[in-house]
């Protein structure tokens, strides 16, 4: 699968490369996703974003125009994505499935980055292999914005 990862920080590069095992063609950029940078998604099927990225309606529409069908977020929370527009445009969204409580330093932090990377790549794998992945846009209660993480076929 061809993907672009936005807002990549230096400590995320190695874990993502190792988790990917050269299966997917992932372009890594440090810029956040936005109207100025959405063009990096041209020719890609998926975008990988961080919790700090904001995917507005305008960005979502442009992603769809560019052919993007999937968004995976390197977070358990996807409040920064316009889910209504994603649903209308049939763009699937997945979050990472990792334990809560992100460590900020030390060996636990490094392990946490590898867990995030592995879960991100599993989402790409699932989409590429056409497994039945739960689209969290279908699991949002508009009254309380509760979100259910994506599930892959092997969970």
Task: Note the pLDDT tens digit of each residue in 81-136.
Answer: 999 999 999 999 998 876 666 655 566 767 888 889 999 999 999 888 864 444 44
Residue 59 buriedness (CB in 10 A; 0-12 / 13-18 / 19+): buried
pTM for the model stands at 0.79
Q: Using one digit for the tens of pLDDT, what is the confidence trace for 37-79? A: 999 999 999 999 999 999 999 999 999 999 999 999 998 888 9
- Residue owning tokens 């190695």: 14
Confidence of residue 152 (pLDDT cuts 50, 70, 90): very low
- Quick check: 17 and 25 in contact, CB under 8 A? no
Query: Cβ contacts of residue 73 below 8 Å, gap of 6+?
Result: 48, 49, 50, 51, 53, 80, 81, 93, 94, 95, 96
Summarize the confidence of residues 15-42 as an average pLDDT: 96
C-alpha 76/C-alpha 60 separation (Å) is 20
Nearest to 94 by CA among 120, 127, 72, 119: 72
Beta bridge pairs of residue 26 = 3
């Amino acid at each position: 699968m061809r993907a672009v990862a936005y807002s990549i920080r230096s400590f995320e590069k190695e874990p993502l490369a190792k988790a990917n095992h050269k299966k997917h063609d992932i372009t890594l950029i440090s810029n956040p996703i936005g109207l100025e940078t959405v063009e990096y998604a041209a020719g890609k099927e998926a975008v990988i974003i961080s919790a700090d990225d904001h995917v507005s309606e305008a960005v979502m529409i442009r992603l769809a125009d560019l052919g993007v069908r999937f968004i995976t977020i390197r977070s358990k929370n996807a409040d920064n994505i316009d889910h209504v527009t994603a649903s209308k445009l049939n763009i699937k969204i997945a979050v990472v499935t990792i334990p809560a409580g992100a460590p900020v330093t030390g060996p636990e932090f490094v392990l946490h980055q590898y867990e995030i990377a592995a879960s991100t790549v599993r989402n790409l794998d699932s989409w590429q292999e056409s497994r039945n992945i739960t689209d969290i846009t279908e699991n949002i209660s508009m009254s309380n914005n509760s979100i259910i993480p994506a599930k892959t076929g092997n969970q």
